[in-house]
Each structure stands twice: as structure tokens, then as C-alpha cells.
Structure 1
């Protein structure tokens, strides 16, 4: 990918302070793009933005429409209107059976992982449509396709992200705005701290390559989907699973 692939483009990355979001932001910044890291952890977001060059940290609660609107206005003021959205903010939630799953935890996972993606997509899409160009890449998961036991809220939320992506991609198919999602198998990030060791080993056992994904591997695929090179893919879920998902 050319070193100036994102020159003149502005990207919003939710959950951009760390993990997959930060790796995606770094890839876009390396291609000459301006990046707004939307995150609730401002200390970490500011540190990450400082490492990227032409980047800013914007405090946001992705579950709040008002917070997202404020973050969008700040991004437009301090950088420019976003051409690219990478919706990466998410949590895993507890590992528990459906029968034992706490209702409050269920609501929190769905609120952040699904409603947060919906609100982010909904906020940036009108401007992209008006300008006639945009790329939205949502971070889903293979769990949204297959369902992981003891992770029902996470699996359901990521299945919802896939469905949302398909719907919005079709709605905007003739607008110049392409909407896709990436469905990785488990990627080693700080989210591991939210999982039990038993659950981590279960997920590893499902991957034929017998290793976890790396954030930079996800960022490579996201960067292509967010770039002008992607021209005929929309409403699609791209697997990145070390052989786990082959359909």
C-alpha cells in the first residue's frame, strides 16, 4: 500500500487509544491520514495520539448520541470532517452461561458493542454521503458468526454488528460510501484481561493455525477496506480467523 494512500483523508477511530483501534489508526496515519482517536480513556488516548503525528484525542462515550455528536463537532473543528470511520470500541463482558449471565452486564455489552457502532455509523454517514465518498469499517468478530459458549452477549453484539453492516452497506451502495466489517478470530489485546483462561484456551483450540491474531494483521485488512483501493466491496464481512471461519 502506497505511503500516501490516506493523504488528505481524515479518519475517526473509536476505541483508538489501544489494541486493534490503535493499530488501525497507526496504519492510516502512516499512510498520510489525519486521525481522531475517540475513546473514554483520555490519558491513554492523548499518549497514543502523540505517537501518531497528525492525530488528536477526543473523549467520547459511544453509547451516548449527544457525546458522539460533540466528538464529531470537535473532530470537524480541529481536523476536518471524517472520510473514514473505524468502529473498534468494544468490551468482552463476563464469561458466563446464558442462564447465569447478569442482565446488567448483557445490557452494557450490547450498548457499547452494538449501539455504539450504530450511533457512530449514524453520525458520520450523512456527511460522507453529502461529500460523495466515505469508508466505514466496523470491527465484528467470528463469534458473531459462530457464537462462543459462555460469551453470549459478546457473540450476539458482534452478530448485530455484522447485520448492521450489511443493512447500511446496501442502503448506501450507490452513494460512494462503502460499509464493511472485519470478523477476526481472537486477537491478543488487553481485552484478554476480561476473559477467563479457560475461555482463552477454548478460542485458541478453534484456530487451525494454532495461534492468536495480531493487531497489525487486522489493521492491514482494515486499511485496505478504508482506502481508495476498495471500490466494489460493501455490506460484507471479511473473515480474519487463521482458518477457523472458511465460509
Structure 2
């Protein structure tokens, strides 16, 4: 079960964190993985890990915010079966401390980037007679998170785009779901804490970990296992659904 043998999967943001974990797990389960990543050097590290384990992968240097670049990459790959939109950026600040520049920057990657990749993927999925799109949203798309105005805006858009695409492409056998992680321990989180809370790294790591009722952050591979299921044939009856993977954050923080 949960094999992706013979499937061609595109994973954006596969150079680190959740995207890297998803690319690695998918390759281990038989998929031919195509990584779209702005940081091609980081993506090459993922590629080496996959190939050492006997998997197959390719890397494409691509800015998901640039539609022409995304279309070119998708056409080069051709006839994909799975798209996982994982590339994203964060921003700290409430509305009045979020500049127009930062708002546009988050929008261009998290919202427009997800749109661009789905826009370019639909014709390729159609060639295969259908397939799966999985978007990475966030718990911030459904609950209020302090000082995450632009980020929450962008992930709310990812969730609602997921529902729209799922509805519009039912007849073409294209499923579209999203997953909404709480905090996941990645190098991004470590860098984020170091940048925004210098000298308080250990304190903030513990605080952020304990904001999940389960008492810790998720591991990237835990998110990847959920992604694997939702992109497998065994999840063929699931579309238009958001899956929180949050250690109880949404339902149990009371």
C-alpha cells in the first residue's frame, strides 16, 4: 500500500524542510521526483540523498513566483501524475507592521506561486487522464495566529484555492487536497528563531514546541507520510479536504 511506482511527482520547495522530506519519501516509494527549487544547491543535496537510497529524481532551478519559469519547467517534465506545492515563505507582523513590500513578497510566493504551479500542472495532469494536487497550507489558514497577518492571508488563500480546484476538476479525475501543519521542526524554524529572538533561542524553541498540546513540533517526515497517503491511489475517494497535522493545536488548545 501507499506505493507511487511509475508515478511522476513534482515537489516544489524540495531543497529543505517539509519539501525535502516529501521528495525523499515519495522517491523511496517508487515515484520519479522532480524538484522545483529556487535554491538549486539545496535541492542537489536532496537529489544526492534520494539517489544514494536508489531513488530517481531531477532538479529544476525555478522561481515559483515566475509563471513563465514554472510553465517551462512543467513542460520539460511533461505528463505529471502528482504535484505537491510546498514552496513558501513566512513573515512576522500584524497588519500595521506589515509593509506593502512584505505583503507582496509573501503573496508572490505562497499564493501566486501555488497558483502558477497548479496552472502549469493542469494540462500535464490532463495528459495522464487525471492525478493529484496536494497543497501545503497551515493551521494559520483556519485559526488566528499572533503576528502572522501576511502569512495567514496567504495560507487562507491556499486553502480556498484547493477547494475551488477540487470542485472544478472533478470531471477530469484530478483530486486536490491540502494539509495544514502546525509548527514543524525544520532548519527554517531554527533560522527564524535565531533571527527574531536572538539570545532567547532555547526559551522560544520550548515555547513554540509546547504550543502544540502534544508537547513538541512535528517532524518533517511525519508530514511527508500524510502527503504520501493523500497522493496514493488508496486515497482515491478524498478530494476538496484540508488535513490538519497539528499535534492537537486546533481542537485541543482550550
Same fold (TM over 0.5): yes
The SS at the match of 2:9 is strand
Deviations 1:190-215 (A, max 9, x none): 22113434876664343111110110
Equivalent position of 1:65 in the other structure: 67
Q: Report how far residue 138 of structure 1 moved.
A: 0.4
Equivalent position of 1:187 in the other structure: 184
Is residue 217 of structure 2 the alignment partner of residue 212 of structure 1?
yes
Is residue 34 of structure 2 the alignment partner of residue 36 of structure 1?
yes
The range that moved more, 190-199 or 44-53, is 190-199
Is residue 158 of structure 2 the alignment partner of residue 156 of structure 1?
no
Equivalent position of 2:110 in the other structure: 113
Paired with 2:44 and 2:76, the residues of 1 have a C-alpha distance of: 15
- CA contact under 8 A between 1:92 and 1:191: conserved in structure 2? no
Paired with 1:82 and 1:165, the residues of 2 have a C-alpha distance of: 18
The SS at the match of 1:174 is helix
Is residue 243 of structure 2 the alignment partner of residue 245 of structure 1?
no
Is residue 77 of structure 2 the alignment partner of residue 75 of structure 1?
yes
Q: Report how far residue 148 of structure 1 moved.
A: 1.2
Please report the TM-score for the alignment, with normalisation by the length of structure 1.
0.92
Do the aligned partners of residues 164 and 201 (structure 1) sit closer, same or farther apart at CA in structure 2, a change above 3 Å counting?
A: farther
- CA contact under 8 A between 2:24 and 2:46: conserved in structure 1? no
Paired with 2:131 and 2:237, the residues of 1 have a C-alpha distance of: 13
Do the aligned partners of residues 174 and 42 (structure 1) sit closer, same or farther apart at CA in structure 2, a change above 3 Å counting?
A: same
The SS at the match of 2:96 is coil
Paired with 1:124 and 1:201, the residues of 2 have a C-alpha distance of: 40
Matches within 5 A, 1:1-247: 1=1, 5-53=3-51, 54-76=56-78, 81-93=79-91, 95-192=92-189, 193-195=191-193, 196-197=196-197, 203-246=208-251
The SS at the match of 1:16 is coil
- CA contact under 8 A between 1:147 and 1:156: conserved in structure 2? no
- CA contact under 8 A between 2:81 and 2:132: conserved in structure 1? yes
Do the aligned partners of residues 227 and 118 (structure 1) sit closer, same or farther apart at CA in structure 2, a change above 3 Å counting?
A: same
- CA contact under 8 A between 2:80 and 2:128: conserved in structure 1? no
Give the total of aligned pairs: 240
Paired with 1:145 and 1:209, the residues of 2 have a C-alpha distance of: 19
- CA contact under 8 A between 2:10 and 2:33: conserved in structure 1? yes
Q: Report how far residue 142 of structure 1 moved.
A: 0.2
